[in-house]
Amino acid sequence: MNLQVLAQVNSFLAALVLLTAFAMLSQRKINSLVTLFAWQGLFLSINTAVVGFVASKHHLYISSLLTLSIKVILLPYILHVLVVRLKIRKEVETIVNIPTTMLIGIALVIFSYHLTAPVREMSTLITRSTLAVALATVMIGLLMMITRKHAVTQIIGFLAMENGLFFAATSATYGMPLVVELGVALDVLIAAFIFGIFFFHISTTFDSLSVEQMESLREDN
């Protein structure tokens, strides 16, 4: 395959990552949210492998496999089990309505595009244009965490941010050194372990996983 086609595949996958980010932002059902998250991880993993192939950076294959196993298989599985175990069926409530969040999301994409302009201009990599998408994914993950009241959605937002960061590393520099990638993956795993414990604590203490009830610690009390 020639480089041109691969570059197109790369940007197409980037577009799909962005699309899944927005789809997650618009999704109300937690189950679908988990599925979307897995899709995002899958696109990311394929993209990493493609970039690894284009740049002939073999450690990216390892990162790709790591993403595949952790973010596509393991984490969605854990989340799914938790959702079933904790009997979460209610639709997610949002603080800001969905169309508005979408508009904010679009604004964030444009913002990221401008923010990454200096990097794009300096970079010579074929993946340079996807950095804006990566930052946008981070921002949208952040937005999701802010505008959703449910603990599981907040976690998915957090993990989506992590996806975006991983993507950023791939597109800006063809991946961080392996030791860092592994360390970050380890941190994500520990975080997964911790939020798993948390879900149980929250649901037993508050009777539901809605973060709304958690507002006793405020300044105006």
Partner 1 sequence: MKALTLIFIEILQAIVVIALAPAFAGWVDVLKCWTQGRTSAGVMQPYRNIAKLFVKDVVIADNASWIFRFTPYLVFGSAVVVGSVVPIISMNLFLAPSADIIVVIAIFATARFFMALAGMDIGTAFGGMGASREMMVASLTEPAILMAIFTVSLAGRSTSLLHIARAFASGALVLRPSIVFAGIAFVLVVIAETGRIPVDNPSTHLELTMIHEAMILEYSGRHLALIEWGAMIRFFLFVTLGIACFLPWGIAVTDNAGDIATSVFLMVIKLGIAGAVLVLIETGLAKMRLFRLTEFLGAAFLMATLGVIAFFILE
Partner 2 sequence: MILLGLIITPFVAALILAFIGDRRFAPAINIFCSFLTLMAAVALAIEVYNHGPIIAGGKFFFVDAFSVYLSVLTAFVSMTTAVFSRGYMQREREHGRVGHVRMRFYHAMFQMFMFAMLLCLLTNNIGVLWISMELATLSTVLLVSLYRTPNAIEAAWKYFILCGVGIAQALFGTVLLYFAAEKVIGEGGEALLWTNLIGVSGSLEPTVLSLAFVFLVVGYGTKVGLVPLHNWLPDAHSEGPTPISAVLSGLLLNIALYALVRCKVLVDGSTHTHYAGNIMMGFGIVSIVVASFSILRQKDIKRMFSYSSIEHMGIATFAFGLGGSIATFGALLHMLMHSLTKSSIFFTVGHACQMHRTQEIARIKGLFKGDPFVGWSLILGAMAIAGMPPFGVFTSEFLILTATIKDVPLLAPFILIGLGVAFAGLLRKVQYMVSGDVASYFEPIKTARAPVVFHMALVLVLAFYIPDFLNKWFQAAVELLK
Judged by the rule CB under 8 A, the positions of this chain that interact with partner 1 are: 5, 8-9, 11-12, 14-16, 18-19, 22, 26, 98-99, 102, 105-106, 109-110, 113, 129-130, 132-133
User: Which uninterrupted H or E stretch holds 72?
Assistant: none
Distance of CA 31 to the CA centre of its chain: 16
Binding segment toward partner 2, per CB under 8 A, in 23-31, 43-51, 77-85, 192-200: 192-200
- From candidates 28, 165, 196, 208, binder to partner 2 by CB under 8 A: 165
Task: Output 64 or 137, the one with its CB closest to partner 2.
Answer: 137
- Token readout for 113 is 């595009």
Nearer to partner 2, 8 or 67 (CB): 67
Kindly write out the interface string for residues 113-132 of this chain, putting x where it contacts partner 2 by CB under 8 A and - elsewhere.
--x--xx--xx---------
User: 105 exposed, middle or buried (CB, 10 Å; 0-12, 13-18, 19+)?
Assistant: buried
User: Rule CB under 8 A: which of 40-79 touch partner 2?
Assistant: none
CA distance 48 to 54: 10
Stretch of 4-12, 60-68, 83-91, 150-158 lying at the interface with partner 2 (CB under 8 A) = 150-158
3-class DSSP state of 95: coil
- Report how far residue 117's alpha carbon sits from residue 198's, in angstroms, rounded to the nearest whole number: 39
